[in-house]
Amino acid sequence: MRVNRRFLYWGVVLMAIGGVLVVADLTAVDTTTLTGLIRLWPIAIVAIGVSLLARRTRLALPALLAAALIPGLVMGAAFAVAPRYAGHCGARGDVANVASQSGTFDGPATVSIRGGCGVLDVSTAAGDGWSFDAASSAVLRPTIEATPTSLAINASGRALNLLDGGRDAWNLVLPTSDIARLELVVTTGDGHVDLADARLANVALTTNAGRAVVDASRAASLRSVTGAVNVGAMSLDLPATSDFTGSFRVGAGKLDLCTAPGLGLRVAAQDTGGNVSVEDEDINGGVWQSADYSTARHRADINVHVTFGAVDINPIGGCK
């Protein structure tokens, strides 16, 4: 019998992922062991390369199995460890204040926030002024670059020690004046974002092995939103105050989208080993459109692409 090696590869990958998750759930596997598996990711790349070189030799089958097993173990460990790290990061001890800064924008602003492990809280306040406070258990100060039309905040010391860099606690208050682009990246952290009354042109959201809860349901305006979920989770509430487009990519993660009543909605979905549903109706590889799309005062056109993940749009019970 001839074996389809593509199916065999993905079967072993999924078995490895599921095996790690089951063991982590049913036994007392500590976070250190799981992070040790994650650090095998360079070996996973090597294994894939070896399997490509050996594909027409007698070692093709064992090389293929290794190239599937090792990445599967790494991905399974990442899935298992992400909820443990998000927010507390496995770090002990109290956080201490490391930065405090404020300023004002004098025109449509560009804001970029790239957080590390820990908690990121974002809220809004009337006017054109912003403020930022940061604390860290590892006394790592973020880099802050501000001009009258831009603000960029980036976590420090994460390049080589992503899983050992301590725990951050950030609090950012943005103005309700015009924001041309808002980019938020949550990496191995826990983000809570409330964009009430914000006037937003473009919003870009990313979670990497973390989770983010974003409430834009009360935003004054929104033109476009993009999102990426990589081995993490995101929940996003969208407004009904303007026409906008959305594009989302989910890789081995979970995305919940909720739209406000009265918003005309059209969803186009693509999936590879994943699932996309609207109001609990599966639309994998298809297009879904609300009954009031053509008559609604405001409309949203959303595209989603899922690889080994899930997207739920307007799930029963709402976004959490």
The answer to whether residue 300 scores a pLDDT higher than 50 is: yes
pLDDT, residue 88, reads: 54
pLDDT tens profile 241-267: 999 999 999 887 789 999 998 999 999
pTM for this model (two decimals): 0.77
pLDDT tens profile 34-73: 666 666 667 777 777 787 777 777 777 777 777 777 777 7
pLDDT, residue 22, reads: 66
**CB neighbours of 215 closer than 8 A, spacing ≥ 6?**
193, 194, 195, 196, 237
Name which of 78-87, 102-111, 139-148 the model is least confident about. 78-87
Q: Among residues 141, 162, 285, which one has the least CA distance to residue 231?
A: 162
More confident residue, 134 or 92: 134
Within 10 angstroms of residue 23's Cβ, the number of other Cβ atoms is 14
**How would residue 202 be classed by pLDDT, with cut points 50, 70 and 90?**
very high
Query: Can you tell me the distance from the alpha carbon of 71 to that of 17, in angstroms, rounded to the nearest whole number?
Result: 9
Mean pLDDT over each residue of the chain, to the nearest integer: 83
The answer to whether residue 167 scores a pLDDT higher than 90 is: no
More confident residue, 82 or 209: 209
**How would residue 272 be classed by pLDDT, with cut points 50, 70 and 90?**
confident
Assess contact for 243 and 299: CB atoms under 8 A: yes
Q: How far apart are the first and last CA of the chain?
A: 48
Query: Can you tell me the distance from the alpha carbon of 277 to that of 250, in angstroms, rounded to the nearest whole number?
Result: 13
The answer to whether residue 271 scores a pLDDT higher than 70 is: yes
Tokens 């006037």, residue located: 199
**How would residue 83 be classed by pLDDT, with cut points 50, 70 and 90?**
low
The answer to whether residue 159 scores a pLDDT higher than 50 is: no
What HEC string does the chain produce? Answer: CCCCHHHHHHHHHHHHHHHHHHHHHHCCCCHHHHHHHHCCHHHHHHHHHHHHHCCCCCCHHHHHHHHHHHHHHHHHHHHHHHHHHCCCCCCCCCCEEEEEEEEECCCCEEEEEEECCEEEEEEEECCCEEEEEEEECCCCCCEEEEECCEEEEECCCCCCCCCCCCCEEEEEEEECCEEEEEEEEEECCEEEEECCCCEEEEEEEEEECCEEEEECCCCCECCEEEEEEECCEEEEEECCCCCEEEEEEEECCEEEEEECCCEEEEEEEEEECCEEEECCEECCCCEEECCCCCCCCEEEEEEEEEECCEEEECCCCCCC
